[in-house]
Amino acid sequence: MTAQAKAVPSATLQQQATPRCGEKDVDLSSLFSPENRDQKDALACTAFASARLLEAAIRSYYGSSPHLSEADIFALLLQKGKVNPGAGIYYTAFPSTEEELDLALANGVATAKTVPYTNRFLDRYDRFMEGHEQIKNDLENGISGSKEPYALLERRASDKQSRLLNQLLVNNSPQAAAERKRIKEMLKPFKRDRQPFSKYTPDQTKATLMNYLCRGIPVSVAMDITGLPEWNHFQAQENEFAGHQIIVYGFHKAERGFVFLTRNSWGDTTHSTPSVNPEITEDRLSKISSAVALVPNSPLSEEAREKMTERMQETSSSLEARH
């Protein structure tokens, strides 16, 4: 799997789906651990969605999965960034479930036991962002007052940022490296798939989500929750935008149409939403801009699958025993 992998066209998904998809409710909650995880105050909804999709893929293939580290996924993405003068953000590291899954498939992910997403991690993240702001400001000031080539100034700034990132957020322990290697091996049967949507075609959004789910594949959706009361988000100003990444793991038929089931990342009480996992009704589908999933690669031979499954079950049991 590479970052250039092509998405499967929606028409292809529809052809591969169960012919009677929608006649019965779908609930893939068994692929997920039951707790409501909490991203707290960081912009980490994509990392939480990515971890859930990765765990679900491993569990669907091998029968069990360790809790993967949202913090490790978050740090992986930050490592891809670099100082961008004037933008105030890592322009190559803006949260993206699509890119996070690509990085996880290419590099593996440590477990949450080894790299926990804790208040201590978030404190270090705040320090990292403060340091990044200082590096960025120093670079901008240097550009205006220095005769040195811009490329040299940028390289120095990126080197400073890399040292700061490794000092504060990246876990380079042998244990974390070994876990990443094992998880990367476990993810070999999967590739990342992405489907973009238009707000003008909610029926296509519904059909594509249902087709994934009827094939036993949960998805992560990018959704504009601006002004939606069920997400306890009320538009404070005219141009405010609130994007969020959410897991969709099933659907059921209701009087008002199909209702999609979600796994959120706001803990049990954060944001005081009416539900910690608000459902998505058909009238909200125009708010979804894309769906990302982990889908099977070309099928392995039966012999290869049996050997890989046996080897990975041993790996999974070993990881779970430690955690």
CB atoms within 10 A of CB 124: 16
What is the pLDDT, as a whole number, of residue 310? 60
What is the pLDDT, as a whole number, of residue 232? 75
What is the pLDDT, as a whole number, of residue 169? 82
What is the pLDDT, as a whole number, of residue 313? 54
List the one residue out of 196, 240, 192, 161 whose CA is nearest residue 53. 192
Helix (H) or strand (E) holding 43: none
DSSP 284-318: GGGGEEEEEEEEE-SPPPHHHHHHHHHHHHHHHHH
Give the Cα separation of 184 and 178 in Å (integer). Answer: 10
CATH class of 10-322: alpha beta
pTM value > 0.85: no
**Would you write out the chain's pLDDT as a tens digit for each of its 323 residues?**
333 333 333 333 433 444 478 788 999 999 998 888 999 888 889 999 999 999 999 999 888 899 999 999 988 877 765 444 444 434 344 568 998 999 999 999 999 999 999 999 999 888 888 887 787 777 777 666 666 676 777 777 777 777 877 778 888 899 999 999 999 999 999 999 999 999 999 999 999 999 999 999 999 999 999 888 888 755 444 456 688 999 999 999 998 899 999 999 988 754 445 578 999 999 999 999 999 999 998 765 566 556 555 655 555 555 555 54
Give the Cα separation of 95 and 78 in Å (integer). Answer: 9
How much of the chain is in helix, strand and coil states, percent to nearest 5?
50, 15, 35
What is the pLDDT, as a whole number, of residue 230? 86
